[in-house]
Amino acid sequence: MTIQQLRYVVTVAQCGNITEAARQLFVSQPSVTNAIHELENEMQITIFTRTNKGVVVSADGEIFLGYARQVLEQVDLMEEKFLHHKESAPHFSVSCQHYSFAVNAFADVIRAFDAEKYDFTIRETQTYEIIEDVSRMKSEIGVIYLSSKNREVLMKLFRANGLEFHELFTATPHVFLNINHPLASKKAVTLEDLDDYPYLSYEQGEYNSFYFSEELLSTLDRRKNIRVRDRATLFNLVIGLNGYTVCSGVISHELNGENIIARPLLVDEYMKIGTLMKKGVTLSRYGRVYLEALHKYTKAD
């Protein structure tokens, strides 16, 4: 077993495709394939299952990759300390629902290490893709929420994929409005107050059921519905159409602008927002700093 082989398998796991991994590693595809086969034979395990769409990490492979990442992290630290070697680009990925605090925490990781080279990824994406990304170790950490309506289904899905949910905080429901909205002067709003305004939510693709909805109360029948894919579009419509979305109430004016405000929504519900991680996998130094930053941005005043 060599350090090079470990770098190959970690890169293939991140890409989900041997061809793309070879391109990123600046080596030929057969070199990567042969290195993985040799490693699998030596360790007497199957790390990847080959499919028509690429490769999928096996159950044994997930455990192996957890150890491989720890070894490579220690190698990088040794090279930085004793060889003053900073050519390798560290990798770190997060998949999250559309939370500004998750983006702020990600920025903190980049500032904390201030590396000459890095290859970091943050995916604000659909709920099912977050579960899939962390399960396949495409992302080290996911950020997601549970409520009384989706908790049972999602926890079952977490367990089936070998994932653990760790709560960051519990939020009461709020709505995001534009600062000039007719309801902006109210200290709190009701569903009846909102009935005449467009309801904005994040589209969830083929998993567009209320269990995977990013917003609370998605089962309610609303007369005006607009689904979007990204946060910028949602906030443009909040401002342009006097729309609203149901949220945790945690807001970043730096990212969302001064025109967006949060108001409590008077319903009997909750949002438990937390992190999703692969069970038994030790976090990288980037993951540990990201968790610290998440706690900082979500800590109650």
CATH code where residue 237 lies: 3.40.190.10
pTM for this predicted structure: 0.75
Total domains, the chain: 2
- 158 within domain boundaries: no
d(CA 82, CA 219): 58
d(CA 234, CA 227): 8
CATH number of the domain encompassing residue 13 = 1.10.10.10
- 153 within domain boundaries: no
Note the pLDDT tens digit of each residue in 49-70: 888 777 888 888 888 887 888 7
Note the pLDDT tens digit of each residue in 234-290: 999 999 999 999 999 888 777 666 889 999 999 999 999 999 998 877 888 899 999
Give the pLDDT mean for 194-205: 92
d(CA 121, CA 140): 10
- 218 within domain boundaries: yes
- 108 within domain boundaries: no
Same domain, 267 and 175: yes
d(CA 28, CA 78): 28
Question: Which of the two residues, 244 and 136, has the higher pLDDT score?
Answer: 244
Q: pLDDT grade, residue 123 (50/70/90)?
A: very high
Note the pLDDT tens digit of each residue in 176-187: 999 999 999 999
Of 47, 63, 86, the position where a domain reaches its end is: 86
d(CA 149, CA 234): 24
- 159 within domain boundaries: no
The domain containing residue 53 runs over which residues? 1-86
Give the pLDDT mean for 167-174: 94
- 206 within domain boundaries: yes
- 264 within domain boundaries: yes
- 217 within domain boundaries: yes
Of 51, 86, 121, the position where a domain reaches its end is: 86
What pLDDT was estimated at residue 86? 55
d(CA 141, CA 260): 28
- Which residue in 223, 239, 220, 226 sits closest to 181, CA to CA? 239
